[in-house]
Amino acid sequence: MDFNFRLPENFAKDSPKRDLKLPEGANGLVVHCCCAPCSTSLVECLIFNKIKPVMFFYNPNIYPTEEYEKRRDEWVHLCELMNIEYVIGDYDYQMWLKEVEGLENEPERGRRCLKCFTHRLTVTALFAKSRGINTFTTTLCTSRWKSKKQVDEAGFRAQDKVEGISYWDQDWRKEGLVGRRYELVKEIDFYNQLYCGCEFSQISAGYCKKGIVEKEEK
């Protein structure tokens, strides 16, 4: 899929947060990314504050395959525009279904989401360790649609599972970052994502492949 969007001229020339520093002892940073829109103000802030991350796309929860490919390819285009190193993890939706088996009917922000986040962030922590990087964070709670408390719980669970790797629980919504996120999303005109990602969130969002979406963009 071809994406022809470009970064705004003022991208990374400023950021609402101008005093960001890596946690003490961090030797680099891996950023788990869920999509391009959620990566915008976070990565802009990192670049402005002279922190160059490795971007990691690991989202086996996204359904169907066509949706996964749209989000992945848009994210890849964004990373290339930013000239930042990126890595794409494996995509195995059937494996992910087994990870959340028995939790299919959980509400959004329920136990299924916690299990999903923990799995994805544990794989991220393992990836960071394989690269010799001891710190990771995620774009998962850059918007109001996700619970930061739940994402942080998943991050610390992942940290506990992978020795020598630390989760950075920086709040990527405060100090003007969430406002900047929505500003960039609108200006760049990203693909219009209509649900969180998995088939269960698809149902919750009222989305039907053969129908009409009536819900607000998530």
Q: Please count the structural domains in the chain.
A: 1
Among residues 106, 177, 192, 100, the alpha carbon closest in space to that of 137 is found at 177
Q: Is 183 part of a structural domain of the chain?
A: yes
Q: Is 12 part of a structural domain of the chain?
A: no
Q: Is 1 part of a structural domain of the chain?
A: no
Name the stretches of the chain with pLDDT < 50: 208-218
113 is in an annotated binding site: yes
Q: Which domain holds residue 76?
A: 30-189
Q: Is 214 part of a structural domain of the chain?
A: no
Q: Is 216 part of a structural domain of the chain?
A: no
Among residues 75, 96, 64, 69, the alpha carbon closest in space to that of 32 is found at 75
What is the predicted pLDDT for the residue at 143?
A: 74
pLDDT for 173-185, tens place per residue? 999 999 999 999 9
34 is in an annotated binding site: yes
Q: Is 153 part of a structural domain of the chain?
A: yes
Q: Is 59 part of a structural domain of the chain?
A: yes
35 is in an annotated binding site: yes
Tokens at 39, concatenated: 């990566």
141 is in an annotated binding site: no
Q: Is 19 part of a structural domain of the chain?
A: no
What is the predicted pLDDT for the residue at 1?
A: 65
pLDDT for 89-110, tens place per residue? 999 999 999 999 999 999 989 9
Q: Within 13 Å and on the Cβ side, how many CA atoms surround 74?
A: 22
CATH of the domain at 146: 3.40.50.620
